[in-house]
Chain A
Amino acid sequence: MENVWTIENVWNAIGMALQNWLAGFLPAWLVTLIMDLLVIVVLLAIGIVAVLILSFLERKVAARAGDRYGPNRWGPYGVLQPFADAIKMLIKEDIVPHVADRFSFNLAPVIVTVGAVMTYAVLPFGRNMVAANLNIGILYFAAVGSLSIIGLLTAGWGSRNKYALISAFRSVAQLITYEVPLALCIICVVMLAGSLSTQDIVLAQQERGWFFLLMPGIFILYFLAASAEMIRCPFDLLEADSEIVAGHFIEYSGMKFALFFLAEYIHLFAGSAMMVTLFFGGWLGPWLPSWLWFLIKTFVVIFVFMWIRNTFPRIRIDQVLKIGWKVMVPAGLVGLAITGFVDKLIADTLIAGVVLFVCNIALIVGVSYFMGRAQRQKEMAAEGAALR
């Protein structure tokens, strides 16, 4: 293959050049092995760098929302703060509780982190830039993404702490609930794109327009389900600090705590990146190189997540389950039906898009109306309850 050196293609070109150079003096199987290992190392590096940036960003956004400045002591505008944090985490004493189940206690952070990092394999960082262009990419993402919840369960069980145990209960309940609507939303996207591969989904959006515009209702459903999946506010019940004091990682310290932290932000990055891929046209965009577009869009989505976290309180566990099963699953099924019918019955993509959009808006309005009515009834019943 010819090696083209453009900004668009720079990462691929570097890889290609390296491969050609290695092939000069190494056998072919060794070259493949080295290149594969290199990709893994690069993905891990991206993961860790993303965590450093995100943890800094999280604090800065939280501070700015609260009329503060955030960390600004270490480095210009505090940019070195994440490194200081990392060093602090690494040199802290690692405490294992006496009564803990040592095996699962030590295993949990590993499962969580590995599960999170593995999702990076199918993220399309740019045109032709995906570590493994699996033809079942989305399926892989959904499966691996929920792997880390097993780690959370292990952590909750292993630390022998009642708060951690409650958190483990909650993690299982929440996982089961939100996998379903998440999968339904993904199926809608896959139906429109006609493929499970992440690259194909992005390319399909080039033809039909961003799916976010076509299916706003499905997008909102996906957004909610993804925040539950990523344990972001308002669905961050597993680590509710005001109720169960950080939940599953209450007993962890030092490096193991850092691993949980790492996993959380890797999840955030991967989830946002996947949302960009599914609904915001992935790396599509004019003028700038594709990988830059991808990063910009991802960070915008991440900012929205952080913004929400700084504004909303948390939902209660029974309400989480109620919304999951009674609202989101039915809405997801209706959305699925709409998408399927429209996609099959209307051949013209433009008309199909308009019809889809209208149906989705109707879906949003309908769900909103029913939830509002239920809430109003509840409030009416509450009025005067103290005097009765």
Chain B
Amino acid sequence: MSVQIPPTERLRTDTIQINMGPHHPSTHGVFRMVLTLDGETVVDLEPRFGYLHRGIEKTAEERTYVQNVPFTDRLDYICGITNNWAYALALEKLAGIEVPERAEYIRVILGELTRVMNHMLAIGFLWNDLGATTFTPVVYAFRERERILDLIEMAAGSRMMPSYIRAGGVVADLPEEFMPRLQKLVPHLKRFIDEMDTMLTKNEIFRARAVGVGVLKAKDAINAGVSGPVLRASGVPYDIRKVDSYSIYDRFDFEVPVHTAGDVYARYLQRLAEARQSLRIIEQAMRDIPEGPVTSLPYKQLSRLKPPKGEAYGRIESPKGELGFYLVSDGSNKPYRFRIRSTSLLNLTLLREMCIGHKVADVVTILGSIDITLGDVDR
């Protein structure tokens, strides 16, 4: 699909090429797009990434299974908890490790908190890209993120790099203060989401900018392997928590919201709805959480873990989509192959198709609505 420039005899126009990035305020990190513009309209777009490549997959092959846990934090640095979780799940499949009940609940609570945080942040940054120059929605989102990160820090000792979920459970039991604070925080987050809803959803400028922009067709999305809120906003009710239920998600009562417009606005609504569902899950988990051990594999055993020869693929529904770890073991204490199926990269592949024909300003918005983290794209 490309836009034809009508040939006129008297007035000849030319296209210009613009490098957007790697240092551009709205590329969410070091990401470069080569835009070909006809006036303000995008004729062609070529994404170039790799500026943040750290070689995590190769590095991980040189380290033991437990030493790789901190590396997974650094993939999608907005939601460290879910990265840990996916890796732990893959390793548990590989080595056949059981997880205690309480640990599963802790994982669900922290994972869903991460989802709320990520979605609120994504909405905030989408507004930033739309041109809310003074960051107001972002600052609100950051405020709530700070509260959630505070809880994660309380449990794991670090805000963004928790390394909290390890194969066999979680590192340590929740501190005593955690539950009372969480009980206060969940209704507060509900109020916060409602406030964001009042402030943003009905805004006419936002709707004018977002409706019908960057439409992603369902069949294209499926073909390209797009997942997560971006896919569900295109009308495909595919959520790994439901279709390939892992952990204890089959015990909770929640819905998978779907929107059918597939544009920037639908993705925004999708995130808002998903954050609400996450809070529902947290409430149920808070109610049901049992007492008991939190890990079946203490550090001293885990560090000597030698999984049998074989391979395993563990995948979870991370806030951004399907996050999978593919591990191959040769029987030693280091993975033979450590492959990451990262969400952001696959969601980004259709950027060109979404952007062509729109204006420069829309490129930024569409990129913002996909919600990428460059640490996840380049690995």
Contacts and interface: CB of A to CB of B under 8 A. Distances in A.
| A touches B (Cβ under 8 A) | yes
Nearest to B23: A245
A302 to B, nearest CB: 15
A304 to B, nearest CB: 15
Given A166-B360, A242-B364, A243-B26, A385 B136 contact: no
Nearest to B261: A382
Interface in B125-156: 127-136, 139-140, 143
B215 A386 contact: yes
Nearest to A234: B205
Interface string B255-267: 0000011110110
A309 interface: yes
A382 B209 CA distance: 13
B131 A375 contact: no
Contacts of A311: 132, 136, 199
B359 A383 contact: no
A65 B261 contact: no
A383 B265 CA distance: 10
A166 B133 contact: no
Contacts of A388: 217
B197 interface: no
A315 interface: yes
B361 interface: yes
B4 to A, nearest CB: 18
Contacts of B16: 162, 165
A313 B205 contact: yes
A163 B217 CA distance: 31
Nearest to B134: A62
Interface in B184-227: 199, 203-209, 211-212, 215-218, 221
A39 to B, nearest CB: 36
B136 A314 contact: no
A328 to B, nearest CB: 15
A233 B131 contact: yes
B260 A378 contact: no
Contacts, number: 140
A135 B262 CA distance: 57
B212 A234 contact: no
Contacts of A170: 40
Given A166-B360, A316-B359, A379-B211, A67 B139 contact: yes
Contacts of B133: 233, 236, 241-242, 309, 314
A169 B233 CA distance: 35
B359 A386 contact: no
A312 to B, nearest CB: 6
A6 interface: no
Given A66-B134, A240-B131, A382 B360 contact: no
B308 interface: no
Interface in A215-247: 233-234, 236-237, 240-245
Nearest to B359: A316
Contacts of B199: 311
A384 interface: yes
Contact of B260 (A66, A243, A314, A385): A385
B378 interface: no
Shortest beta-carbon contacts, A-B, top 10: A386-B262, A314-B131, A66-B139, A313-B130, A386-B234, A62-B134, A384-B260, A242-B26, A382-B212, A382-B261
27 contacts: A66-B135, A66-B136, A67-B143, A166-B40, A234-B131, A234-B205, A236-B131, A240-B361, A242-B133, A243-B360, A243-B361, A312-B132, A313-B132, A313-B203, A316-B209, A317-B361, A375-B208, A379-B207, A384-B260, A385-B260, A385-B261, A386-B215, A386-B216, A386-B233, A386-B261, A387-B235, A387-B260
Interface of A: 62, 65-68, 162-163, 165-166, 169-170, 233-234, 236-237, 240-245, 309-319, 371, 375, 378-379, 381-388
Given A243-B360, A314-B132, A386-B218, 11 more contacts: A62-B134, A67-B140, A163-B18, A242-B131, A314-B131, A314-B133, A318-B40, A379-B211, A385-B260, A386-B221, A388-B217
Interface of B: 16, 18, 24-26, 37, 39-40, 127-136, 139-140, 143, 199, 203-209, 211-212, 215-218, 221, 233-235, 260-263, 265-266, 359-362, 364
